[in-house]
Amino acid sequence: MKKHILLTLTIVLSSLVFTVSAEEIGEVSTTFRLLGANNKIVIEAFDDPDVPGVACHISRAKTGGIKGSVGLAEDPTEVSIACRQTGVIDISKLNSLKNGGEVFKESLSLIFKSLQVVRFYDKKRNVLVYLAYSDKVIEGSPKNSISSVPVMNWQ
């Protein structure tokens, strides 16, 4: 029985490691912890996989302490996002994007909580809107952040 639980936990933890697709840019400590890692704010970057030419940066709180050091702590739901056009955007592909399509997802707890970034295309204003929020299996959080990317001619 103990071997089964350990095997299941190992599979869950290893699957979480491979789903993360953001690059850590930096971090700052916010709370000193005597045992384990400090609480911190982490800045991560990722490129929109469906819209080459758009990059996003998110900042989020990360829980430290002993639980945080071993990956068992639940991180807070606060998140901030900023997205920018970094290259040419193929305008012909924008109409085929699914509104509310997932761009990025990262776990905030062992199993039940995640940070998600979804994208919307405001055709009338020719703007991509990125919404960052967290959710749980049973309940979500109203805390969210958005960033708008006007689609510009790139030369």
Burial class (CB in 10 A: 0-12, 13-18, 19+), 130: buried
Alpha helices in 20-145 (DSSP H): 65-69
Predicted local distance difference test score (pLDDT) of residue 140: 67
Q: How far is CA 34 from the centre of its chain?
A: 28
Residue 20: pLDDT band with limits 50, 70, 90? very low
When pLDDT is averaged across residues 3-22 and rounded to a whole number, the result is 47
Q: What are the backbone angles phi and psi of residue 73, rounded to the nearest 5°? A: -80, 150
> Which two three-digit tokens encode residue 24?
């850590």
**Please, which residues have CB within 8 angstroms of residue 19's CB and are 6 or more apart in sequence?**
105, 106, 107
> Which two three-digit tokens encode residue 126?
């020719």
pLDDT digits (tens, 9 = 90+) for 87-145: 999 999 998 999 999 999 987 776 777 889 999 999 999 999 999 998 876 676 778 99
**Please, which residues have CB within 8 angstroms of residue 70's CB and are 6 or more apart in sequence?**
none
Q: Is the pLDDT of residue 12 over 50?
A: no
pLDDT digits (tens, 9 = 90+) for 61-91: 888 888 777 777 777 778 999 999 999 999 9
CA angle 49, 50, 51 (to 5 degrees): 100
pLDDT digits (tens, 9 = 90+) for 29-58: 998 888 888 889 999 999 999 999 999 999
Predicted local distance difference test score (pLDDT) of residue 138: 66
Q: Tell me how far apart the alpha carbons of residues 137 and 109 are, in angstroms, rounded to a whole number.
A: 11
